[in-house]
Amino acid sequence: MLVPYISFQVLGAVLGGFTLEFIFGQFGSPADLGTTKLASGVSPSVGALLKTAGTFVLAMSGFVASLRVHKKPGEASLIGATLFVIILALGPLTNASLNPVRSLGPALASGYLTNLYVYWIGPLAGGLIAGLVFRFFERSRIGQGSRTVCMC
């Protein structure tokens, strides 16, 4: 299911970006079509670290919510509140895009590819680190009535 999931994510992002270009391209700069940009003064390395940290926190809240919170409204509240705080904290600095393809679609449509790699490296690294950290802690709890999450 990984290949179809990624394929549809990329297809949706690209179609969304070009739809924005088609509808709003005549009204302003092409770089204003939802393209993610680092704030002035934020270097690509700092941006990548911020994206990594933000995605790590969001992924960990998802793991915790799925295994420790036993009611759907509680899971949604935890993940939603976490995302809200991350967007407030990182939005002014990095546009808070924690999904790499969310940045890809508008970047391709606008032609603004500057620092696009930051929006791929940070979220992928943050998600990977969160998965490994959570897997490590879950493995240490095996035998204590815990469930494990497959990170394959």
The 3-class SS string of 125-137 reads HHHHHHHHHHHHH
Nearest to 36 by CA among 127, 108, 119, 109: 119
42 within some domain: yes
68 within some domain: yes
Q: What per-residue confidence (pLDDT) applies to 152?
A: 40
* Separation of alpha carbons 53 and 58, rounded Å: 9
8 within some domain: yes
* Separation of alpha carbons 31 and 22, rounded Å: 13
**Cα 123 to Cα 7, 14, 52, 65, distances in angstroms:** 17, 18, 5, 19
Domain of residue 111, CATH code:
1.20.1080.10
Task: Output the six-digit token pair for 84.
Answer: 């809200």
Q: What per-residue confidence (pLDDT) applies to 143?
A: 52
55 within some domain: yes
146 within some domain: no
Domain of residue 57 covers 2-140
Q: What tens digit of pLDDT does each residue of 2-59 get? A: 899 999 999 999 999 999 888 887 776 666 778 899 999 999 999 999 999 999 999 9
81 within some domain: yes
Nearest to 51 by CA among 20, 89, 79, 18: 89
How many CA atoms lie within 13 Å of 121's alpha carbon, on the beta-carbon side?
A: 11
Total domain count, the chain: 1
> Mind giving me the DSSP string for 81-150?
HHHHHHHHHHHHHHTT--SHHHHHHHHHHHT--TTTTHHHHHHHHHHHHHHHHHHHHHHHTTTTT-----
* Separation of alpha carbons 95 and 119, rounded Å: 10
Q: What tens digit of pLDDT does each residue of 88-122 get? A: 999 999 988 889 999 999 999 888 899 999 999 99
99 within some domain: yes
